[in-house]
Chain A
């Protein structure tokens, strides 16, 4: 792979992406159009995140990639490998040690620090897209801060189902101005969007970059009488016993028995190493 530039993209392209990132940081939650490139992996598989990571990484960085919270899911492995090959950066599975974390669908459980950057892969950056398919319309709605449609949708959810029926990609308002799609993270992760680290969002196919600077106010949309609720499966992790982590449900046998395990594999591992034991942990170790 040595015939390619550091982190694959040429410097000209990286500069263009960095400009978009800076603009995004200057206008939190605003979707900045950028001339997304074809990457050697398919659109929809993290090309936006990969381009943002490529423009962000320096040779001294330590890179972590997670998909569904796990470092060992196939696409996370594939993206990590891509940067090992094209940038030669150090990689890690430990949230703590990473300086740049690329993620799909989760925010790590461990609190991120000021010296870290988290890069989200975004499929559909437009929070209003499924209410209004036209980009020409949604851009106008953002510029006029016309978010009534979104509140009507949430209200209709409540009147029909008795609850807001959005479980992931739950819309937020950033810094009191732009309504933003936090990417398809479960709403459990929404409260973590106010953090110390820099958050960058890349949508390759849709050619958009947006950002949330550290310590920025991020409010999940709700109503006074139906406040936002960050929910998860009502169980502790069966391996590490954590009660505060987002859980995956795993079907264990033909009888349909279930177990619940941390979706953040690094969090689960570090807890088990620290001696925490879940319901099925011993059995598992045996």
Chain B
């Protein structure tokens, strides 16, 4: 007896209720607060802010809680929220040279004005599970020193004096906006950087890694990596001048890349650039490597056919919200397409069998 499948609405509702229950987990365990997520899972919060393209640690914490810790799902929640927000205007470009650095390291100079500041890094931790953390979570107090008062200059500025590093021409042109105009190819560097900074960390990492392994190798040194807070300023038309509207935490990476020159450029060092919301070190280094690889044309290099050099390939597949949506849509019903394929395959098989029978009869 056939009864058509009905009741999608009720099923959806029940699935949502069950999901909410699963999200909460065992009720004899205390519920997570947003402040706990914001303070204790801050790198997850940072990733959600970076790929969600919205700097708001509290909302990111909410998204992580709602998404049961699935960061791509959390990024999606943030993106969907962000797109409904009205645009009041655009801030002035932030000045990362004025950053109050928590961390600032250079792999190219042993020392430079501003010094090497390790900051809160995993780098030299031994990756041993800390069972004590499971027991109490007590922490020793970190020693404090006086904060540097003057701005920390960018390392690349020192190379610039020698004219040995490629110059980035300054421009007052307003860059395009990836979220307001459809992406078209060939694009340009501002749009590429926008796409990379919100691109999936895993994807950008994989692309960057491929350049290190020889697919368009561009031998990058981390000229500088800095993490800290910068002030955001905005021009207020009614006032006629810019005011501070807040501060954001950023990670900035400038790579210095070996370059022996090309048909159009003299031998000199070239640059890749990464800038990401929050403490997002891996992402910003990866971004800088991919940025550098994508600049082959501007630097007169050969197109080696490497994936990381291919702007359309990289930018079309970097966004995890687009990727996950399309990937997961194959869960949706496709009965109609499948039915049409069934009929086609049956027809082709029938015809093929007939041909074989005819051939056998003829023999």
Footprint of B on A, CB under 8 Å?
4, 8, 10, 33-40, 42-45, 47, 67-69, 72-78, 81, 104-106, 123, 134-136, 161-163, 165, 167-169, 184-188, 205, 207, 231-233, 238, 246-250, 252, 259, 261, 263, 265, 280, 283-284, 286
> Does residue B140 face the partner (Cβ distance < 8 Å to A)?
no
- B319-350 contacts to A (CB < 8 Å): 321-322, 324-329, 332-337, 339-344, 347-348
Q: Establish whether residues A74 and B337, one from each chain, have CB atoms under 8 Å apart when the complex forms.
A: no
Total interface residues in chain B, CB < 8 Å: 53
Interface centre among B6, B79, B343 (most CB of A within 10 A): B343
The distance from the CB of A71 to the nearest CB of chain B, in whole angstroms, is 9
Which residue on B lies nearest to A232, using beta carbons?
A: B343
> Does residue B84 face the partner (Cβ distance < 8 Å to A)?
yes
Q: What are 30 residue pairs bridging A and B, where the CB atoms are less than 8 Å apart in the complex?
A: A8-B84, A34-B182, A35-B179, A38-B79, A38-B80, A42-B328, A43-B324, A44-B326, A72-B7, A73-B333, A74-B332, A75-B332, A77-B9, A104-B332, A106-B336, A162-B352, A163-B347, A165-B348, A168-B341, A184-B337, A186-B337, A186-B339, A186-B340, A205-B325, A232-B343, A249-B339, A250-B2, A265-B4, A284-B2, A284-B3
The distance from the CB of A53 to the nearest CB of chain B, in whole angstroms, is 17
9-residue interface stretch from B100-108, B119-127, B183-191, B269-277 = B183-191
Q: Establish whether residues A40 and B8, one from each chain, have CB atoms under 8 Å apart when the complex forms.
A: no
> Does residue B83 face the partner (Cβ distance < 8 Å to A)?
yes
Q: Establish whether residues A168 and B332, one from each chain, have CB atoms under 8 Å apart when the complex forms.
A: no
- How many angstroms from the CA of A247 to the CA of B338 in the assembled complex? 11
- How many angstroms from the CA of A8 to the CA of B83 in the assembled complex? 11
Q: Establish whether residues B80 and A40, one from each chain, have CB atoms under 8 Å apart when the complex forms.
A: yes
Picked from A38, A81, A163, the residue with its CB within 8 Å of the CB of B351 is: A163
The distance from the CB of A104 to the nearest CB of chain B, in whole angstroms, is 8
- How many angstroms from the CA of A147 to the CA of B246 in the assembled complex? 54
> Does residue B32 face the partner (Cβ distance < 8 Å to A)?
no
The distance from the CB of B82 to the nearest CB of chain A, in whole angstroms, is 7
Which residue on B lies nearest to A263, using beta carbons?
A: B336
Q: Establish whether residues B344 and A165, one from each chain, have CB atoms under 8 Å apart when the complex forms.
A: yes
> Does residue B29 face the partner (Cβ distance < 8 Å to A)?
no
- Chain B positions within 8 Å of A261 at CB level: 2, 4
- How many angstroms from the CA of A90 to the CA of B241 in the assembled complex? 50
- How many angstroms from the CA of A72 to the CA of B9 in the assembled complex? 8
> Does residue B98 face the partner (Cβ distance < 8 Å to A)?
no
- How many angstroms from the CA of A187 to the CA of B340 in the assembled complex? 8
Given contacts A38-B76, A38-B321, A44-B328, 10 further A-B contacts (CB under 8 A): A35-B179, A35-B182, A36-B182, A38-B82, A78-B12, A105-B336, A135-B312, A168-B341, A232-B343, A261-B2
The distance from the CB of B149 to the nearest CB of chain A, in whole angstroms, is 42
- How many angstroms from the CA of A136 to the CA of B8 in the assembled complex? 41
Q: Establish whether residues A43 and B326, one from each chain, have CB atoms under 8 Å apart when the complex forms.
A: yes
